Amino acid sequence: MDTTLDLFADLEFSAAPPSAALVAAGGEMSEISPGVWVSGMPEFDTPSHILCRLIPAEAPGTYRLEPEPYPGYIRMTEDIGARLGIIGLSETTMRRLMWCGYVEHFISSPGCTYISIESLLAHLRATRNDAARETSFWTAKRRLEWKATCAGGAASR
């Protein structure tokens, strides 16, 4: 007889509604992971420095600058949600999103992880709940992958 308590039994069947505080705050909400709702889309200032490369211009011997399309990365910290202005985003949820492959990241050195802002924003857009059609990004297959990630198993999309 299996007496193991399934902490994620509800993830396969129904989604938890957003908290009253998030609903009262207004704005667009995303179910960033099963049962975890966040609010707010970060706004970023124009960078003061950008990387460019020299491209030959039309006139002989002249060049023009062309910005390099490198995605922005930010260092992962315990207050990642507060730093980005995303209400309800915790370090644990962010790490699980990285492990499951929903948010791109790289580890530059031990204890120093960077996440892709573009990837995170794409995930926020993908998980916005469409209340009119009652659709959710978190299909049964994705919920099972999430459950495996939370349990420490290998999950792949």
Q: Which token pair is 43? A: 């706004």
What is the pTM for the complete model shown?
0.64
Residue 73 has pLDDT above 90, yes or no: no
Please write the tens of the pLDDT for every residue from 99-156.
889 999 989 889 889 898 889 988 988 888 765 556 778 888 888 888 888 877 544 4
Q: Is 121 left (phi over 0), alpha (psi -120 to 50) or beta?
A: alpha
Where do the domains of the chain lie? 16-40+71-149
Work out the mean pLDDT of the chain and round it to a whole number: 77
Residue with tokens 């009262």: 24
The pLDDT assigned to 150 comes to: 81
Please write the tens of the pLDDT for every residue from 80-92.
888 888 888 888 8
Which segment, 54-63, 65-74, 146-155, is predicted with the most confidence on average? Answer: 54-63
Distance CA 149, CA 143 (A): 10
Distance CA 140, CA 142 (A): 6
CA geometry: angle at 142 spanning 136 and 146, to 5°? Answer: 115
